[in-house]
Structure 1
């Protein structure tokens, strides 16, 4: 059991590092290429459509093929995709390509990344659901959340170190990580038999209970992606930083968030008394506090404090909506619902960059106001449905058919 949990943790951790290593350098890279904030939003959002579409597909394939093969396919695809993305970035910085062609190629490369990334977290989450019961589900999902948090810490930290050599160096490292992970997973992760022999009923995202947890996941991921996308622009403009100072500042801020997530989810793994709804509501309150600090702080200390509080809130909400969604369906549908959760992350990556960068050009504070409004609506919706959702929570299989 320990080996399985460590394997799941490792898979999600490496996938998150591969994603997060680019976050601190994307804004300065976009400006070095002579592109605008809107171009950045288009590259991230339109490229993420593939992630939203493919996440449920990978989840269902892991039910049929087994979790390990799908994780391996995901890492191999990520390696090829990141190589392509890095080559295009290098060509753009070297003035070999520019303008519309550069934007189109970056979008296409980002789409390839989005095509393969959800294979890893969706299969890993389904694997965790396979090896935990209802009572231990929140703690199991907290382990996945901790892997996300550690990746959130080390990804920007690695970027902050290698950006001192050059802006492209974090991309070189990011391209190497999936290949290393492929080899390690191939050797160390135990094979897992397919869960099903016949095609299971499709997961209905609008089923009672499940839709509320997916909404909570959407609000959580919209908050995280928005901070990643416009954070660099916002802090550079607020504090008049250079591009390299911005990359280091955002890296450190994301490290604070990651540390907070790890601490929060480590405590959650030891204390399984909190139910998914309680985790989500407590996390939502902290996210609202962090948004208020981002809006009114005018110093590095204030922003770093907001990053830390944001990490605690996200650290509560992530295992909350993952566990709640998992408990809302039957055992043979765990791959499907895990893919649905990953799809929510992809949808967030589509919506948040375009929305946040568009709002940013109107007023730099508006993205944080929008995030606060979405989280508030989600919290009120979940709180108002408390009795109805809570009544169905203990019996997860009946919950799905409602």
Structure 2
């Protein structure tokens, strides 16, 4: 069991690093290529659209052909996509390709990365649901949340370290890691029969129980991405920092959030006492407090405290919505619901950058105010609507 858990953790970690390692080097690379910020936005956004579209597809395929084959396909696809993306970027830097053709090739390669990445977390989450019972589900999902959090922290750090050698070096690492993960999964994860033998029962994102936890997932991911996207602008404007001071401050802040997220989920793995709804509501409360600190306490200590509380809140909410969604469906639908959870992350990555920057241009306080209000609405909705968790699962299993 320990070997299986490590494999699932490592798989999700590599997928998240693969997603995050591009972000820090994209702006300087785009400028080296002579392209504009708009091109950068197109390349990243269309990759996120591919993630949102393909995540439910991969989740359902894992129900039909097994978790391990889909994870292996995902890593092979990530490897091939990163090779294509890196080769295109290299050709652009060497001026072998330029102009519209370069932009089209970069968009296609980045979309290909987005196409294969969700195969891993959706299948890994479904696999964790397969090997845990209702009482251990929260701890299992906390492990996946910790892998996400670690990848969120180390992805940019790895990129920054290898960028010291050369701007394109993080992309080389992005190609090597999926290949290494492929062999880890191939050797350590045991073969498993498909969960279903006939056509997979579809999971409706608007069905009772599921929609509440997808709503919670959307609130969580929109909050995380909004902080990443506009945080640097906000803190520079609020504290009158230089660009170097801003980069250092935001890096430390995101590190505090990531560490808080990992520690919180580690504790949840050891003592999984809280139910999904309680985890989400407690996390939402801490996240709203962090938004208040960002808005009303101007100073480094206040901002760092807000980053830490934000990480604790996100660390509670992530396993909460993943566990709740998993318990709301039958065993045969675990891949489908895991795919929907991964799709929510992709949708958030499309919406949040556009929405948060637009709001920031109107008023620098608006992104944090809107995020706080959205989280509040989600928490109130969750408290007022009757839960359809484990009981729904049991009923569904009896009807099969």
Q: How many residues align?
A: 397
Alpha-carbon shift at residue 283 of structure 1 (Å): 0.8
Normalising by structure 2, what TM-score? Answer: 0.90
Say if 1:160 and 1:250 are closer, same or farther in 2 by CA, change over 3 A. Answer: farther
Say if 1:35 and 1:294 are closer, same or farther in 2 by CA, change over 3 A. Answer: farther
Say if 1:370 and 1:43 are closer, same or farther in 2 by CA, change over 3 A. Answer: farther
Say if 1:364 and 1:399 are closer, same or farther in 2 by CA, change over 3 A. Answer: farther
**2:160 matched residue in structure 1:** 160
Asked if structure 2 preserves the Cα contact closer than 8 Å seen for 1:159 and 1:251, the reply is no
Alpha-carbon shift at residue 42 of structure 1 (Å): 3.4
Normalising by structure 1, what TM-score? Answer: 0.89
Instruction: Please list every run of 5 or more consecutive structure 1 residues that lacks an aligned counterpart in the other structure.
Output: none
| Residues in 2 aligned to 1:98 and 1:237: alpha-carbon distance in whole angstroms | 36
Alpha-carbon shift at residue 379 of structure 1 (Å): 1.2
**1:217 matched residue in structure 2:** 217
Structure 1 residue 394 corresponds to structure 2 residue 375: no
Say if 1:227 and 1:24 are closer, same or farther in 2 by CA, change over 3 A. Answer: farther
| Residues in 2 aligned to 1:58 and 1:245: alpha-carbon distance in whole angstroms | 42
**1:373 matched residue in structure 2:** 373
Alpha-carbon shift at residue 292 of structure 1 (Å): 2.7
Question: Cα deviation per residue 1:164-183 (whole Å; 9 max; x = unaligned)?
Answer: 33433323322221121112
Asked if structure 2 preserves the Cα contact closer than 8 Å seen for 1:38 and 1:357, the reply is no
Which residues in structure 2 correspond to 1:164-179 (within 5 Å)?
A: 164-179=164-179
Alpha-carbon shift at residue 19 of structure 1 (Å): 1.7
Question: Cα deviation per residue 1:72-103 (whole Å; 9 max; x = unaligned)?
Answer: 11111112222333344445556666665554
Say if 1:159 and 1:245 are closer, same or farther in 2 by CA, change over 3 A. Answer: farther
Alpha-carbon shift at residue 339 of structure 1 (Å): 0.8
Alpha-carbon shift at residue 203 of structure 1 (Å): 0.6
Which residues in structure 2 correspond to 1:291-310 (within 5 Å)?
A: 291-296=291-296, 298-310=298-310
Task: Give the root-mean-square deviation of aligned CA atoms.
Answer: 2.6
Say if 1:127 and 1:48 are closer, same or farther in 2 by CA, change over 3 A. Answer: same
Instruction: Please list every run of 5 or more consecutive structure 2 residues that lacks an aligned counterpart in the other structure.
Output: none
Alpha-carbon shift at residue 266 of structure 1 (Å): 0.9
| Residues in 2 aligned to 1:134 and 1:110: alpha-carbon distance in whole angstroms | 37
| Residues in 2 aligned to 1:312 and 1:322: alpha-carbon distance in whole angstroms | 16
Asked if structure 2 preserves the Cα contact closer than 8 Å seen for 1:88 and 1:102, the reply is yes
Q: 4+ runs of 1 displaced by more than 6 Å? A: none
| Residues in 2 aligned to 1:27 and 1:292: alpha-carbon distance in whole angstroms | 30
Alpha-carbon shift at residue 205 of structure 1 (Å): 1.1
Alpha-carbon shift at residue 377 of structure 1 (Å): 1.4
**1:228 matched residue in structure 2:** 228
Question: Cα deviation per residue 1:217-237 (whole Å; 9 max; x = unaligned)?
Answer: 111111122223333444555
Which residues in structure 2 correspond to 1:329-348 (within 5 Å)?
A: 329-348=329-348
| Residues in 2 aligned to 1:191 and 1:221: alpha-carbon distance in whole angstroms | 32
